[in-house]
Amino acid sequence: MTDWDLTTASYVQTLDTSGKDNSNTDCFIKGDGTSIYVIGSGGDKVYQWNLSTPYDLSSASSIGEISVAAKELIPQALYFSDDGTHMYVGGANDDIYQYDLGTAWLVSTALYSKVYDASGEETDIKGVCFAKNGEKMYICGITGDDVNEYDINPAWDVSSATWVRVEDTSGVDNAPRGIAMSNDGVYMYICGDQYNRIWRWTLSTPYNISTATQDQNIATGVVAAPNGVSFDTNGQHFYVDDAAALTIRQFDIVPSPAPPAAPKKKFKGGGWLGEEKRKKKPKPKPKPELTPKQRVEKSWESNAIRRAVPKM
């Protein structure tokens, strides 16, 4: 399997966001690749672009924005619920703010709803993400250089968050700037500014960060200052916020090859047949047609035989 595999990733292209904000701090790609969002601490806003070709940054067009300055003056973390009806913003205020969207995925319709105070765990939030079902939340920051895990009940309600555990990541990178989780909770990714890399951990128990083992990383190369990372639903594309260049960089992961198609089967009168076809008996060769002379001779032979047989 190569989906979610950083070793097969390669840089593809860039989206220039400098016309929107002078300090990008995180990004988020919609699961189906039709929208991308960027948060910035220069304008304290969340900006949205629609992608006419899914996952393709070259097809992006700006369609809206929303200010979060009323709650967070240094926003640094961004995430959306799986159905696009909730948006989450974290930052230097040590809080995770929840916004509800009147129209799913349309950022301009977002209204503040709830908050979770994370100051007991992290005082400089750099990244936030959730489990696909909204029942887990994870935040990373540079005060603790770690990842904190929370239970959420009811799902997606940030005010119901309960701290569960913490995982120290400082031995890998002491400047975590973003976090992402695979849809099945088997992989966790940290965007690190210390070495300009994306790091992967494999979780032997899905969504449980205490079972995480760091196993892969990739140098971001063209990214001068990685400041956030976001993956698509299938783990075949990821996007990195480059704070230095005010751009979003797209990387593609070589997808897993499709399994070979099963051989087609045909139905014959006796049942289903696969590649081994039932052998047919050869048809008897037709007897050659007799000439007129042969027919006369055959008739004489028949009459002679009948005369030679005595009557009973």
The answer to which of 116-120, 235-239, 301-305 has the lowest mean pLDDT is 301-305
| Predicted confidence band of residue 33 (pLDDT cuts 50, 70, 90) | very high
| CATH class of the domain whose range is 6-253 | mainly beta
d(CA 26, CA 202): 23
Each residue's pLDDT tens digit, 211-245: 999 999 999 989 999 999 999 999 999 999 999 99
pLDDT of the residue at 254 = 82
Q: Sign of dihedral through CA atoms 176, 218, 16, 132?
A: negative
Angle (nearest 5°) at CA 99 between 93 and 104: 150
Beta-carbon contacts of residue 230 (< 8 Å; ≥ 6 apart):
27, 28, 29, 178, 180, 238, 239
Each residue's pLDDT tens digit, 67-87: 999 999 999 999 999 999 999
Above 60 in pLDDT, residue 53?
A: yes
Greatest alpha-carbon span in the chain: 127
Q: Are 228 and 29 in contact (CB under 8 A)?
A: no
User: Tokens 């892969």 label which residue?
Assistant: 216
- Mean pLDDT of the region 43-54: 98
| Predicted confidence band of residue 301 (pLDDT cuts 50, 70, 90) | low
Every domain of the chain and the residues it spans = 6-253
- Count CA atoms within 13 Å of residue 10 on its CB side: 4
- Mean pLDDT of the region 137-156: 96
Above 80 in pLDDT, residue 287?
A: no
